[in-house]
Structure 1
């Protein structure tokens, strides 16, 4: 009897979800308002799109273990970006062209048909990598049929050639792919097509040793090209960047270039690279535009090969999560990230305290304590060398006014000692902090800078304290419990 390999893999994945559902849900670190895998490992967001009035978010998923391997595409959908429904598995690594993983990709609406472009990962018996860009489609947004390979590896690049992001421009389809040149230099590569099935190479958008970028990584992953206002933005995750002061502190990093894309030559005339998120866990973000005209982004709250084996959730057979959806806005040559307004639907039990004066003695306000909440601080007067906010005895946020440095400090999962991520910040006007059971997202000055991190405090600890090293800070504080 012939066995349908695709159906068999999906059946095995569904059985694994069912087998571990109870132990996964018993984990005290399961998140309340962030997307997580039902079991196993989640990484890159894929196929983020609003299609026929509903938002769809697919994701890289290994249901069988909390390590990387032959990836599936898991699938969530939502009508409001807040309440998400788990859908059927969209893609399984079942065919000759994707048997070692349905790697990352994107989704487009082609005349009412939802189409997925993704990378098929293949390794031969000797471990040599092959890569194929593949197409799948759906009429109902739930059941997907694989059409097969639409692009093979072109000359000049290694088999590290993946993560197609597709969009339409002036009646044509365009696709940018993350790549490595044969000289082992990171690249973002542009293609065009009339039908999503036959693709023509245009050229390198940007990359190492191009347009003034010296030694800028050996591989560029998960590129995304889009417009904000009259500018073109290349969002990308280069691998192989060296730490430079406060920059590029993670094993792999994510950021953006601002410029103008020449669609004929494929070249982006761009400025400097800016990190999109300054925290510990942020990688491989993907954007979409919705019917409200917003450019939305969701990132993976994780980083490859960065202490993944140290996460305590592994004991409950799951690991990693997605960031909250954010809106991207370009202001004065800088991308601001703002939490989407729909998140306000989660707010309950508002607490507003105005005219607070924070001084050298630690200030604790019981009304601000909580497990899963949003906290906003509006600063009216900052006359101290150092403002310090401590959350759950697990996270410390500080602003050094003299050095103009904002710091996120947490306890390292590997050493048990404090570790930090930082950025330069000329002034502090506003903090907006989302705290979940094992995650924190910090938006500074309406998203001028953002820090994302996983945290693993004692769940019962709801403590919050504020302190000024000397002098004082005057502010108002507003807090909501976030409840689904």
Structure 2
């Protein structure tokens, strides 16, 4: 792919002629990697989910967007609405880089309700003549017709003393009728931090200090922080950049995870356990959470990573969002489950029951390109169990489970074209309990694996050939008694909407 110049990366979408935009859209529409039931960019690059909220009977889901190609450049917010978090209606661009403060990009932020009305708080990115970053925090009001009105001035005009211009991604939450904003930051020692602000009127924000987590040397920047409480547990999500890999942990270029415990919001001290990764796959970053209409905490992440080149880049687009996940704390552990409404996408149910052994290749006659597969492990006397999806004569995506160690491995060595700048072709996680269930959501170019009813999740992009549709099972020694339930999944593409419906506004 040709190298993008700075001028190309910071060209305004509004200044590009219609013929160029139409040609790019046609190129993207022809991509064999376009997803069926995931949010993806109409063109260009999608990254962080932003402004997630349930408001007045609708879900609002936005994402960072560079419209003109599969690279990071001048960022906009692109917004969808939904009634069920399964079917989405594009609303087009909601936030544009149209002021001096956000001249070089409308960066990440969150949504909240104040006096019954919807607002966004976001980071504005500006570069001076020497290309020095200037980060400020802004608020915009969302009107009933979907139009957005930015406040005339920044509500937080500079980082506090002792912190650099790596100061972004405000997440607003309400506690005891007070508005708080947690912001990702870097101190002057080059260490990642989470900063806390407070407001009563959303116009004037008081800096309270940094949250004391005792993680003094844990990455050089903490992006996309998020705070919430589930069943009495305070949880702080953040994405530390610059954490070295450690065995099966921290294998991606940047990490995403959480600490859980108790936050003393008045004294800014959090007593917590270890940092845990949210996802053990190859492609997961920048998650954001919100509360749905039923009071559940929902998480959506970016299915991708910065500084990584993907095969779909050649087709003029990159990345998608994960499926929505319901978070819960059970037995002191955070679990993630796919939302139940995804069952609306199910068609063509098939089931099979039987033993898998060393000689098994197809326990079931399944094939699939976009499907949900539930595997129940009813008995297991095997040392290793292997599950393969998206297989052909030359390609396969392998999920292996070692019974003794409880290690589950995702291996995409033979999964077709691979992203560049990625360490290794396997990801491994150790389960807390014996493997009893796998729930797989396989889309045209992705897989999301939920282990043991949400105990672990592994999310990755897959770029196989179109004939890689097989599903296989086998063991290393011994046998396993398994139950398979497979559904084909009907997505938006079936309704001729996902690739072509996006507004050009």
- Band of TM-score, shorter chain: over 0.9
**Which of 446, 471, 476 pairs up with 2:478?**
471
Displacement of 1:460 in angstroms is 2.1
How far is the alpha carbon of 1:365 from its aligned partner? 4.6
Alignment-derived partner of residue 70 in structure 1: 74
Alignment of 1:74-473 (within 5 A): 74-140=78-144, 142-147=146-151, 148-152=153-157, 153-206=159-212, 210-211=213-214, 213-305=215-307, 307-308=308-309, 311-354=310-353, 356-365=354-363, 367-393=365-391, 394-411=396-413, 412-414=418-420, 419-425=425-431, 426-473=433-480
Kept in 1: contact 2:347–2:488 (CA 8 A): yes
Q: How much has 1:313 moved relative to structure 2? A: 1.3
Between stretches 167-176 and 20-29, larger displacement belongs to 20-29
Question: Deviation per CA, 1:313-351, whole angstroms, max 9, x where unpaired?
Answer: 122210000000000011122110000001000000001
Deviations 1:380-405 (A, max 9, x none): 11111110111123310000112221
Asked whether the equivalents of residues 327 and 337 of structure 1 are also in contact (C-alpha less than 8 Å), the reply is: yes
Distance (whole Å) between structure 1 residues aligned to residue 234 and residue 59 of structure 2: 24
Aligned residues: 469
Q: Quick one: distance in 2 between partners of 1:99 and 1:347?
A: 44
8 Å Cα contact 2:199-2:206 kept in structure 1: yes
Asked if the contact 1:17/1:38 (under 8 Å) is kept, the reply is no
> TM-score w.r.t. structure 2 length?
0.90
Name the SS for the 2:155 alignment partner.
Answer: strand
Paired with 1:365 and 1:469, the residues of 2 have a C-alpha distance of: 15
Q: Is the 8 A contact 1:438 1:456 kept in 2?
A: yes
Instruction: Measure, in 1, the Cα distance between the counterparts of 2:155 and 2:317.
Output: 33
Q: Which moved more, 1:455-464 or 1:277-286?
A: 455-464
CA shift for structure 1 position 112: 2.6
After the TM superposition, which of the residue ranges 383-392 and 418-427 deviates more from structure 2?
Answer: 418-427
Q: Secondary structure at the match of 1:88?
A: strand
- The residue aligned with 2:51 is 47
Q: CA deviation at 1:366?
A: 5.4
Query: More displaced, 48-57 or 108-117?
Result: 108-117
Instruction: Map Cα deviations across residues 26-55 of structure 1 (whole Å, 9 max, x no partner).
Output: 111100000000000000000000111100
SS in 1 for 2:154: strand
State the TM-score, normalized to the length of structure 1: 0.94
1:410–1:418 CA contact under 8 A, matched in 2: no
Rounded Cα–Cα distance in structure 2 between residues aligned with 1:73 and 1:103: 8
Q: In the alignment, what sits opposite 1:3?
A: none
Q: 1:415 to 1:469 in 2, by over 3 A?
A: farther
Quote the residue 1:482 is aligned against.
Answer: 489
Q: For 1:48 and 1:17, locate their aligned partners in 2 and report how far apart those are by CA, in whole Å.
A: 28
Change (3 A) 1:178 1:415: closer
CA RMSD of aligned residues (A): 1.7
1:13, 1:63 within 8 Å by CA — same for their partners in 2?
A: no
Match of 1:4 in 2: none
Aligned residues of 2:436 and 2:452 also touching (Cα < 8 A)? yes
- Farther-moved stretch of structure 1 (411-420 vs 469-478): 411-420
CA contact (8 A) 2:447 2:461 kept: yes
Is the 8 Å Cα contact of residues 263 and 270 (structure 2) preserved in structure 1? yes
| Structure 2 CA distance for aligned equivalents of residues 415 and 144 of structure 1 | 38
Structure 1 residues 36 and 406: alpha-carbon distance in aligned structure 2, compared to 1, 3 A threshold: same
